[in-house]
Structure 1
């Protein structure tokens, strides 16, 4: 009997194994059909001319045609070939239609996007463009749709493996879709609304000077914080709970995880070869595939090569034959939260300076996979949309009988940002770029630009004009019924901060402060960096002449200025105490750690243990300093802030008060807190990595997580689609690798450069670039992650406009030709009918 049962179990196991292998084989067979053929020819009715697409060794498309419409058609075609799922997902985000695929878990994201009305604004913005811009947007959309039609008619595996798991229908791409993707990206690049709400929540728990400690502003910009509780009658201690982190698919960014970047340029007089140099590396949340896609376009104005975002028909960073440019987030204060007071007689109205006014309202139905549709009310005020809870944490600081509304520069429909982007890639000089920068609207960026003779830095985007007597100055939510708090239009873009050919011959931005102008010409009270700029300025000024190699070295620098600044402060009373300690005790581990840190130069090498000890120490230290004052809000400060810690340990304006635990009878000193935090960090690391400190490695903890936005958390599939790498760098290094700060992997690298480029006008064809993953969004493609290893090593690929370079290592050539609905060319299947 036992033998019989064993035999049946063995047969069942064998059958299950065979079925699993068959299922895997079928899945592979179906998924492989969506791998694009880079070596094919097609006749397409909508093609505006003959198009040749040469794929170089890394599958970067070099697109050649006789007219610009055909080139942009080709760009749309290759974006769809390689990133169709990513494009479809980006469009669904902007439309507020994620829940049709993902069910209940994305309803709040859809509610937010519909409340903000992003897609309708994008449609109206598209309608407001010039005829020339409309034609370019349409040519790009035609190229996307040509590939979508190929997928449908030639059964090309639905275009991407993900479409086998979710709804395979793909609506035609439209010009409004490209602008919607751009506006959704704009939301990802700002955290000003969230910062206002956080500062208000802190003001309900802390004294104003303590708020200035924990949310420090750039040095030199300290201004008294308005009384939020008093001005809006908000009860103190109202905000008790820390809000949940936004859904990963949401464009809403938590404080500290909006856009970041580095960009710098040297004039010919500071370059060894006598011609300008430029480097750029934007920082965004890591994903697989990455957000950037490389392309080379042969326009009538000449060749241009660099980084694009699938869905947007422009080289956003890169170079043409005469000009190179890079972008950094400017940290413009482009959002304000307004607290609107409801009419106590009629909650469908709210108070304005002229009296009560009705909300502009409508209802929207969200279709939800696996659940009944949900109808959500949407309301707009004269300032902007009412923010649905829980977004931007606004509900937590909104008093009863009020609602919070959002004002944002991205809501304007006369936005000409896409026109500027299309024009910049054709510009012939720095002056032309700066002229186009003045019509750029949102999201606000700093553009660093160079030609052979000139370099410049200029902030782009419309800056809200606030009155000097504005109640909150945009630092905390303001009363919406008070006229002096209203925006007064926008500042003149000619007055945006910037510099051209500065005396020192170098321009640089790391999201640091760009102007000392007082409010209301201040641009922002909150900046994205106070640390990286110290290192950048030191390296750029440490040598008289720069080269391509020195710019590459600076771009990949992993020295932490925060470590160099903080260690002498927090360890000064611990380093040389010389307390005897036996082996295998906490005291002995502390001695080993302190002795190593005393010799450490701050380099965040993936092979060293010192970066791990330092990062864990300051993380534990900040937690100990804030937990008693902030309670649940302490989770919002899981990632240590060097300015806060420096204020505490220098006792700036009495900031050392944070070291005393309010609930204890004794008075703790900052030295006590430093020692306890170090012991706590060492215990945490010992539990995770073993007892031997010298066996720990920063890279093992600081793993870059390029996670698939949808499948990354699915068991087994996540292992297949995610890209994980040990990386150097840290929160404040020029080669930035921002840590998660919380959860089971608090030191994981989740926000870093997604594109790097260095351009040398002495020999433009020697210029280099790299992205964080690869060109393809298809997990079975070798180009899904073939740039990732180079990216981790700080290496690059060629950035040549010479067609011979691309052809020399081509992995395929695609030819698109206008024609009827006959067969394809060169062995291709039937040609698609027009859309």
Structure 2
């Protein structure tokens, strides 16, 4: 008995010692939010005050000290995120996660982002202010690598820290550029529809083939160019960091606000991940102030405001990426056809290092149009090489200067000049200031094809289809202080450019229409009104689409429960509240409708098409049609299917599915049962670590294409797990500039041991806000003060 007691005491002591050891270890990994830290190369001491939500307010005597300090504090909260971001475009995720990331790495390493970064860096002005500040920021990041705590993720995967370079910074910018491009997800799908089914089917998807369009000769064969789109979708699904999606923004002129000052709103839509994408900071020097939102490893904010002006962005969705079918020389596969004869492919030799495996090497062919994607997407079942021509790699990259200029402008004219230097990705840049100006600039290097070719299809590489006329920025869509007293963007189609409706992959009109309706309804907006508006969950189009779908339906052919479901849909105002039943019925009906309409003709391509912007834009028109080539089910012998058949079948299947999924009581089919949000961390893929690293899940209101745009993959499961949405909600009121408001989806820090890792998550779900404080007296009352001093 005494022996057992001794063993028990020993075990208790051992457990206590281990617990103390774990506590000491984890505490050593926390960010330092107070105290004193030595930082090399500072000219004078810098004071950093952390507010109640972990935002650093950096007070320095000059910008070089401020940016060096920003780099340090940014790294101590987000070093793991920085590590992932720099590796994506460089094709280095396999070094962390092994062979499962090889497909991603091959694809991204083929895009030319790294090669473009190297060219850009060679031509940088080393004496310019943007360059000096960027290097100071990198110095701060690298000093944290040397002196600061190693993030827990590095221990878990056995990763050694390595210093960051300008090339890493430009790789992050390149990844942002490609994640905004949409053509790679859509053009292969539309090309397959054209080649397999013909122009009539394509026209009803909103893509017209006219007599001036250069077409590639048809041939009966089994081709699946959409494999490219499906693989790209898979790549984005597997990325451990957020791709960019869409966004809302509007800026209201003083004539429409109660206090007679500009009100600015912006909520960029980005795929959810943990940590959240934006890192907030407030920098103050004697000559400069900016409350900004930075991407990982970027020195200058893409979103920001101060007492003089505010700016933000949405995705333009212009078509800045084109695909071409090249034609190999039948006698030499290292050559391809051009209008001037055969030319040699340029060959790049690429190597990818793989954790716990041997390095993988491959040759990448590059034509005059760009890299051959067949060399990196092995699943493409087509002998024709497909080249990718991307505006981002075709022009000088000025994004470092652009972000510096946007965050340092002293006038609207100067800000517009900064916006004019963006070549890719295409961005809607939104602006408002204390001088009562509002503005919108659709920025990007726009072009039009001289031969009127259809850029939404894969083009003929052995032709003059690639002849383009690049437009001057004066021809880009833009508006400054318009007579209607507001500017806005919701990734929707802009008005004509250079006499044409500029081609792109724009979102449907739903959000844009709702924003305009709400803005037109009032002339006395307050900050509180705009905060409510940015959380709006009412669809402007789905009630109309329901009416179009069921306008000629004979209710007597349906069961009682099916009739009740139709009644609920017809009475629906489009609201996506947690307790609403209609969204659950509608989204299941929508899936069945799309499947019954398109699956038989498209085959597996349908599942790629299902979640493209083209599908979202097409659906409203399809529901309104009475006649369509798509209605017929080609798997049946009699070609007699009509819209009525499709609608009836889809509704019946939807109700049967919901009764099986959620029970027979349709009153219990509430949206909160099927619509949830979770912010995934790469370590959360390990089930035992999921609850520790991931944030959520939460039941959440909102839905696709409402202002509170919480998007999900439409699929057969009947559950709508939100995968993207507002990456922040910001409202800046120039009548009360020190008390502007924002919210993060999770929190400011990416360190799971920080108090600010997920402290905003529930507030975000609730639609609440926290202050973006500019008041020096309040800021300096913080209990968390970090003083950075130089050892020099």
TM over 0.5: yes
Deviates more, 1:679-688 or 1:751-760: 679-688
Matched, 1:796 2:769: yes
Distance in 2 of aligned mates of 1:565 and 1:628: 27
Q: Which residue of 2 aligns with 1:591?
A: 563
Q: Which residue of 1 aligns with 2:316?
A: 330
Q: Which residue of 2 aligns with 1:570?
A: 549
How far did residue 236 of structure 1 move?
A: 5.0
How far did residue 48 of structure 1 move?
A: 4.4
| Structure 1 segment 174-323 matched on structure 2, within 5 A | 174-213=165-204, 215-216=205-206, 224=210, 231=216, 235-239=220-224, 243-244=230-231, 245-248=233-236, 259-299=245-285, 301-323=287-309
Compared CA separation, residues 240 and 41, structure 1 to 2 (3 A): closer
Matched, 1:543 2:522: yes
| Structure 1 segment 124-143 matched on structure 2, within 5 A | 124-130=119-125, 131-132=127-128, 133-143=130-140
Matched, 1:773 2:746: yes
Compared CA separation, residues 487 and 128, structure 1 to 2 (3 A): farther
Per-residue CA shift, 1:231-253, capped at 9, x if unaligned?
A: 25554542287534323476799
> Which one of the candidate residues 689, 693, 698 is aligned to 1:717?
689
What SS does the aligned partner of 1:607 have? coil
Q: Which residue of 2 aligns with 1:605?
A: 577
* Alignment root-mean-square deviation, CA: 3.0
Compared CA separation, residues 620 and 120, structure 1 to 2 (3 A): same
Q: Which residue of 1 aligns with 2:485?
A: 505
What SS does the aligned partner of 1:748 have? strand
Q: Which residue of 2 aligns with 1:645?
A: 619
Q: Which residue of 1 aligns with 2:347?
A: 361
How far did residue 129 of structure 1 move?
A: 2.5
Per-residue CA shift, 1:574-617, capped at 9, x if unaligned?
A: 5x7356x8xxxxx2321332232233211000122221111111
What SS does the aligned partner of 2:235 have? coil
What SS does the aligned partner of 1:712 have? helix
| Structure 1 segment 51-70 matched on structure 2, within 5 A | 51-70=46-65
Q: Which residue of 1 aligns with 2:366?
A: 380
> Which one of the candidate residues 166, 171, 174 is aligned to 2:162?
171
Distance in 1 of aligned mates of 2:755 and 2:209: 53
Distance in 2 of aligned mates of 1:225 and 1:312: 47
How far did residue 113 of structure 1 move?
A: 2.1
Compared CA separation, residues 116 and 15, structure 1 to 2 (3 A): farther
Compared CA separation, residues 52 and 330, structure 1 to 2 (3 A): same
Compared CA separation, residues 25 and 748, structure 1 to 2 (3 A): farther
What SS does the aligned partner of 1:52 have? strand
What SS does the aligned partner of 1:82 have? helix
How far did residue 441 of structure 1 move?
A: 2.4
How far did residue 715 of structure 1 move?
A: 1.1
Task: Answer whether contact 1:498 1:514 (CA < 8 A) is retained.
Answer: no
> Which one of the candidate residues 800, 812, 816 is aligned to 2:788?
816
| Structure 1 segment 708-747 matched on structure 2, within 5 A | 708=681, 710-723=682-695, 724-742=697-715, 744=717, 746-747=719-720
> Which one of the candidate residues 95, 118, 123 is aligned to 2:90?
95
> Which one of the candidate residues 6, 29, 34 is aligned to 2:29?
34
Per-residue CA shift, 1:472-491, capped at 9, x if unaligned?
A: 33221222232342445x32
> Which one of the candidate residues 566, 574, 598 is aligned to 1:626?
598
Distance in 1 of aligned mates of 2:23 and 2:176: 33
Matched, 1:408 2:390: yes
Distance in 2 of aligned mates of 1:637 and 1:61: 43
> Which one of the candidate residues 152, 166, 170 is aligned to 1:161?
152
Distance in 2 of aligned mates of 1:226 and 1:377: 37
Q: Which residue of 2 aligns with 1:460?
A: 443
Distance in 1 of aligned mates of 2:783 and 2:765: 24
Per-residue CA shift, 1:665-694, capped at 9, x if unaligned?
A: 362332232222122222222333222221
Compared CA separation, residues 308 and 726, structure 1 to 2 (3 A): same
What SS does the aligned partner of 2:428 have? strand
Matched, 1:496 2:476: yes
Task: Answer whether contact 1:457 1:507 (CA < 8 A) is retained.
Answer: yes
What SS does the aligned partner of 1:247 have? helix
Task: Answer whether contact 1:656 1:670 (CA < 8 A) is retained.
Answer: no
Task: Answer whether contact 2:276 2:745 (CA < 8 A) is retained.
Answer: yes
Distance in 1 of aligned mates of 2:509 and 2:294: 29
Distance in 1 of aligned mates of 2:30 and 2:572: 48
What SS does the aligned partner of 1:733 have? coil
Task: Answer whether contact 1:293 1:308 (CA < 8 A) is retained.
Answer: yes
What SS does the aligned partner of 2:196 have? coil
What SS does the aligned partner of 2:439 have? strand
Compared CA separation, residues 18 and 331, structure 1 to 2 (3 A): farther
Distance in 1 of aligned mates of 2:337 and 2:699: 54
Distance in 2 of aligned mates of 1:181 and 1:330: 19
Matched, 1:681 2:648: no
Per-residue CA shift, 1:104-151, capped at 9, x if unaligned?
A: 111111112222232232132233233322211101100101111112
Distance in 1 of aligned mates of 2:547 and 2:141: 56
Distance in 1 of aligned mates of 2:639 and 2:375: 41
How far did residue 661 of structure 1 move?
A: 5.2
Compared CA separation, residues 637 and 440, structure 1 to 2 (3 A): closer
How far did residue 734 of structure 1 move?
A: 0.8
How far did residue 342 of structure 1 move?
A: 1.6
Distance in 1 of aligned mates of 2:15 and 2:375: 44
Task: Answer whether contact 1:115 1:379 (CA < 8 A) is retained.
Answer: no
> Which one of the candidate residues 513, 530, 533 is aligned to 1:554?
533
Distance in 2 of aligned mates of 1:367 and 1:25: 38
What SS does the aligned partner of 1:415 have? coil
How far did residue 722 of structure 1 move?
A: 1.5
Task: Answer whether contact 2:763 2:769 (CA < 8 A) is retained.
Answer: yes
How far did residue 711 of structure 1 move?
A: 1.7
How far did residue 751 of structure 1 move?
A: 1.3
How far did residue 719 of structure 1 move?
A: 2.4
Task: Answer whether contact 1:510 1:529 (CA < 8 A) is retained.
Answer: no
Distance in 1 of aligned mates of 2:455 and 2:673: 41
Compared CA separation, residues 28 and 478, structure 1 to 2 (3 A): farther
What SS does the aligned partner of 1:406 have? strand
Compared CA separation, residues 615 and 233, structure 1 to 2 (3 A): closer
Matched, 1:706 2:679: yes
What SS does the aligned partner of 1:529 have? coil
> Which one of the candidate residues 38, 43, 46 is aligned to 2:41?
46
Compared CA separation, residues 598 and 18, structure 1 to 2 (3 A): farther
Per-residue CA shift, 1:387-420, capped at 9, x if unaligned?
A: 24565x9935x5x3x3222111211462112211
Q: Which residue of 1 aligns with 2:459?
A: 478
Matched, 1:349 2:335: yes
Q: Which residue of 1 aligns with 2:411?
A: 429
Compared CA separation, residues 345 and 688, structure 1 to 2 (3 A): same
Distance in 2 of aligned mates of 1:19 and 1:203: 70
Compared CA separation, residues 651 and 50, structure 1 to 2 (3 A): same
Task: Answer whether contact 2:81 2:750 (CA < 8 A) is retained.
Answer: yes
Compared CA separation, residues 258 and 181, structure 1 to 2 (3 A): closer
What SS does the aligned partner of 1:668 have? coil
Compared CA separation, residues 99 and 363, structure 1 to 2 (3 A): same
How far did residue 348 of structure 1 move?
A: 1.4
Distance in 2 of aligned mates of 1:361 and 1:186: 24
